[in-house]
Structures are given as C-alpha cells and as structure tokens.
A and B are shown apart, each in its own frame.
Chain A
C-alpha cells in the first residue's frame, strides 16, 4: 500500500539558509500534519491542513511557513535557519472520514551547521 512520501530524507544547511521539505500524503487522505522531533524528544505539532486549507497551528516559528497544493502535497518552507532547527521533520496524513489515525512518513532529517 502507498505510504506518506517525504523528501529529501536528509538535508544539510548552513545557518541563515533556507530549506524546503516536501510531503506527498497517502492518496485520498484529506489532512496533512507537520511535526518536528528533536533528539530524544516527542513530536511537536507544527501545522496542519485540511482540504488544502490551514486547519490548525502549533509551535511553528514565524520563520517557517507551509502550504498544501491542489494535488494535496504539502511543503514546509524554513528560512533564516538556526542551529536549533536541526531535527527530524515528520509529515503525517489522515482521512477525516476514518478513525483519525495518523500515517507518518519516514521523516526528513535537517542538520543546520
């Protein structure tokens, strides 16, 4: 079965650079979530989209922005990167008509030097 696809899997950036992460949800899933997970930490909710509209916002820095496109894929844009942004970024998708279970991608590991 198709899973959530994230790219790139690994990304190395310098401070103050920008980065873009992409997420392709499971077909027919209408909700996309972005989570940030630091080493040894729990996933922190950043933002979610339902049917291409932002539905909820968590601890997402102002330097970050995200959107969901007409084909339902989503992108997380991060600017003015800081060392503390180094983390694993997970995208997850779900279908609102089901149990609400989140299907996670394998994550994009961002390292800021």
Chain B
C-alpha cells in the first residue's frame, strides 16, 4: 500500500516555481523517496530520488525534511509541458524495487 499523501491538485503560473509537497510520516530509515510524473496516457517518467540529503538534477530539486517525514519537489521554472500528475513514492524496505503508487498531485501549469 502507498505510504504517502499528496494534495489532489495544484496550480502554478508558467515560469514560476512549482512546489509539490508530500507527506511520508511512516517512512523507515533506509527507504528512499522517489518522484515520478505521468503525462496523460503515457508511462511514468522518473524525476528524482533521495534518501536523506537534498538532491538536485536538471529537472528538479528534492528537499527532504530532517526528520524525513515529508519532502517537497521543486520545479524551478514551470512550463506548460510540466502539466502532469506527480507521484511521490516511498520504496518498500523489504520489497526491493517495488513501487506502490498513491493518488498523486495533478499539477496544472497555466499561462
């Protein structure tokens, strides 16, 4: 079962930063936090993942709180093509690589 909770939807103006929160209060010590996104009728696309430290790549930044009970995905300059459903996933500790998807956040980037 999914171990994360996310807001159902969010709006963001084009060119502005999009900050997507995720709550994972029951996360275990060696579980990673992954973010994927799914554009309509496509397979999910990997964005970023982390364990304890904040991470940044060419797509986004991941901020994980010190207690690891929540995280925020930041898209620094959202474009219309970033409109998608964003999933925050905690990888099950004893089921290596199994991903259980929650309901995700529908991000609407508006002109």
A and B interact physically = no
